[in-house]
Amino acid sequence: MKIFLYAITVFILIGCNAAPTAPAPSAATAAIAATPAPTKPSTPFIKDKFSLRDLAGIGRHPLDAAAIGDKIYALNIETENIAVVQNGRAIKFIPVGKQPAALASDAAQKRLYVSSAKDKTISLIVDDQIALTQNIGDAARTLIFSENRLWAGLDSSATILVLDPATLQIQSRITIPNAFSIISLAGDATNHRVYANAFEKTSVIDSSNLRVLNTLATKGSYYTLAANPATDSALVAEYEAATNTQFLISYNPRTGAERSRVKLGGDPRGALLNAGASRLYVAHSFSNDVYVIDPRNLTTLAIIPVGLKPFGLALDENAHRLYVTNYESDSISVINTDTNQIAATIPLAMMPTAWEVNDTTQRAYVANASSDSVFVIEGARVIQEIGVGRHPTDLARDAQSNRLFVANQADGTISIIDENSFAVRATPSITRLLSSVAVDAPRARLFANEVVLDLTTLTPIGRLTLRGVTIGSVITPDFVRVNAAANRVYALGGNGTPGSNSRRVTYSVDAGNLQQRTTLAFSGNIHHIALDVEANRVYGAGTHPLAQTHEFAAWDLNDNKLIALPLSARTTGIAYNPQTQHVFLAHAGTSAAENFAQIFDTTTFGEVGRITLNAPGVMARLGHLIYVSGTDDGAVTIIEDVSVAAPPAPTPTATLTPFATPARTPTR
Query: How is 107-146 classified by DSSP, letter by letter?
Result: TTTTEEEEEETTTTEEEEEETTEEEEEEE-SS-EEEEEEE
Provide the β-strand partners of residue 357: 364
- Compare 286 and 652 and report the one with higher pLDDT: 286
pLDDT in tens, 407-435: 999 999 999 999 999 999 999 999 988 99
The model's confidence at residue 203, banded by pLDDT at 50, 70 and 90, is very high
Say whether pLDDT at 467 is over 60. yes
Task: Phi first, then psi: give them for residue 49, nearest 5 degrees.
Answer: -155, 140
Give kind and range of the element (H or E) at residue 28. helix 27-33
pLDDT in tens, 563-579: 999 999 999 999 999 99
- Check residue 632 and give its pLDDT: 87
Residue 20 above 80 pLDDT? no
Q: For 168-178, what is the mean pLDDT?
A: 96
- Residue 41's pLDDT band (boundaries 50, 70, 90)? confident
**What pLDDT digit, counting tens, does each position of 622-637 carry?**
999 999 999 988 899 9
Going by the DSSP 8-state scheme, the letter that residue 511 receives in this structure is: T
By CB neighbour count within 10 A (0-12 exposed, 13-18 middle, 19+ buried), where does 108 fall?
Answer: exposed
With CA atoms as reference, report the closest residue to 306 among 70, 62, 632, 617.
62
Res 478 pLDDT > 70: yes
CA pair distance 240, 262, nearest whole angstrom: 12
For the ranges 22-26, 129-133, 439-443, 617-621, which has the lowest average pLDDT?
22-26
Q: What percent of the chain has pLDDT over 70?
A: 92
pLDDT digits (tens, 9 = 90+) for 213-224: 999 999 999 999
Banded pLDDT at 35 (limits 50, 70, 90): low
Which DSSP letter does residue 652 get? P
Whole-number pLDDT of residue 14: 31
Burial of 71 (0-12, 13-18, 19+ CB in 10 A): buried
pLDDT class of 28 with cuts at 50, 70, 90: very low
User: Is the pLDDT confidence value at 657 over 50?
Assistant: no
Q: Where are the beta strands (DSSP E) in 117-220?
A: 121-126, 129-135, 140-146, 149-154, 159-163, 170-175, 184-188, 193-197, 201-206, 211-217
Give residue-wise pLDDT tens across range 63-97: 999 999 999 999 999 999 999 999 999 999 999 99
Backbone angles phi, psi at 453, to 5 degrees: -115, 150
**Beta-sheet strand order (sheet of 258-263):** 221-228, 233-240, 245-251, 258-263
In the prediction, which pLDDT does 36 show?
A: 60
